[in-house]
Amino acid sequence: MVTLSVIVPVRDGERHIGDALASLARNYRPGFEFIVVDDGSVDDTAAVVDDFRACLPGLEVIRHPEPLGLADARNAGLSAASGRYVTFLDGDDWLAPGYLARLTAVVDGLGCDFVRTDHVQVEGRKRVVHRAPAARRGVVLDPREAILPVGVRTMVDYPYAWAGIYRRSLGDLLCFPSGLHTAEDRPWIWRLHREAATFAAVPLAGVFYRRQVAGSLTQVGDERQLHFFDAFELVFQGLEEKYLPKAVRTFCALLGHHLEIAGRFPPELRARFTRCGARMAGTLPLDLVAAAVAAMTGERAALLRELLPWLPAPTGGPRGPHAEDP
C-alpha cells in the first residue's frame, strides 16, 4: 500500500533537479512513491531524472512533449498518484533528510484533511525560516476560520502547495486551475480553506525553497504574468460576502507588488498589465478597494493611486503592513 505520493513538476530544471531528487532519496521509506512530471523540458532535465531511477525506488516519470504549465503538471501528478496522502516539491527546491516521514507521522497523528508547515527560504547562502501564519499550532482547526481577519497575514496568504501534506481523498479540491501558468496557488488555497473540513499548522520546516532562481516564473516578465488576473477572477467567483474584504485586500496588495517590479515587463506588456489591473479593480466594491489602498504606505500605495485615480483621497488613518506580500 502506498502511503505518500510526492509530486515533482519540473521544466528545464537540469541545474537543480538533481538536488531535489537526491533529497527525495534521503527521504525514501517503503510506501513512498515519487512522481516527476517533466513539463516539456528542452534541456538535459530528462537525462538527470533518468540517472536517479536506480537509486530512487518508486520513481515514476511523466513527460509532456510541450509545456502545459505548473498547474497542469501538478494535476498530471495528482492523476497518477496512488498514495493515501500527497505532497509537492518544486524541481528547484529540496527537502531535509527524514522530513517526509515526520510529515506523514504528523498528519496521521492529527487525523485532519491537510497539514500546513513552515519552510526555509534560501537566497544564496542565506537561510530564513518562514512560518505558516496560523495562531494555533499542532491542533485540528476549521480551515474557514483561518481565512480572516482582513488586516493580518492569514493562511490564504501562505499559498505554497509544497508547504504541506494533503489527504488524496480530498479529490478535486487538490486540483489546480487548468491553464494557469502563474498564481495558480491563489485560487487553490482559497478553495481548499473554503471547502475542506479540517486542517492543522505545525512547526515543521523541512522544505528548502530557492528564491531568485533564473528562469522561474517569479523572475520572468512575459505574458504568463497576466494569469494573475485569471487566478483572482477564480478567487472572487462565488466568494462569500464575509471573505470579500480579505480577497480584495490581498488582490490590491499583490497588484501593488507587481507594479513595484513592473520594470521586468517589456513596455507593451506593462501597459497591458496596468490596463488589466485598473479594469479588474474597477469591478470590485469601491469602499473595499479604497480601504485596502488606504492601509498601504510608500511606493506601493502611490503606484496604486496612480493606477486608480478614482480612489478617494487618503484621510491619514492608521495603516498596516503589507500582510499579503509574496
Per DSSP, the residues of 38-73 read EES--SSHHHHHHTTTTTSTTEEEEEESS---HHHH
**115/26 same-domain check:** yes
The count of residues in the chain is 326
**197/236 same-domain check:** no
Residue 218 has pLDDT above 90, yes or no: no
pLDDT of residue 325: 57
Angle at alpha carbon of residue 93, lines to 36 and 222, rounded to 5°: 85
**203/296 same-domain check:** no
**42/132 same-domain check:** yes
18 domain residue, yes or no:
yes
Highest-pLDDT range among 38-42, 122-126, 311-315: 38-42
Residue 99 C-beta-side C-alpha neighbours within 13 Å: 27
Q: What is the CATH number of the domain that holds 110?
A: 3.90.550.10
Residue 156 has pLDDT above 50, yes or no: yes
**290/197 same-domain check:** no
* Stated pTM of the model: 0.92
Q: What's the structural domain count of the chain?
A: 2
- Give the residue from 2, 1, 43, 38 showing the smallest Cα distance to 20: 38
**23/148 same-domain check:** yes
216 domain residue, yes or no:
no
> Cell digits for 247?
480577497
What gap in Å lies between CA 181 and CA 143, rounded to an integer? 26
Alpha helices in the chain (DSSP H): 17-25, 45-50, 70-80, 99-110, 185-195, 227-236, 244-260, 267-282, 286-294, 298-307
145 domain residue, yes or no:
yes
Residue 220 has pLDDT above 70, yes or no: no
322 domain residue, yes or no:
no
Identify the domain boundary among 185, 210, 235.
Answer: 210
User: In this structure, what DSSP letter does residue 149 have?
Assistant: -
**202/233 same-domain check:** no
Q: Which domain holds residue 22?
A: 4-210
Mean pLDDT of 25-47: 97
pLDDT of residue 36: 98
- Summary mean pLDDT of the chain: 93
**187/232 same-domain check:** no
pLDDT of residue 314: 77
**193/49 same-domain check:** yes
**205/59 same-domain check:** yes
325 domain residue, yes or no:
no
Please state whether beta strands 119-123 and 126-130 pair in parallel, antiparallel, or not at all (unpaired): antiparallel
Give the pLDDT confidence of 242-265 residue by residue, as tens digits.
999 999 999 999 999 999 988 888
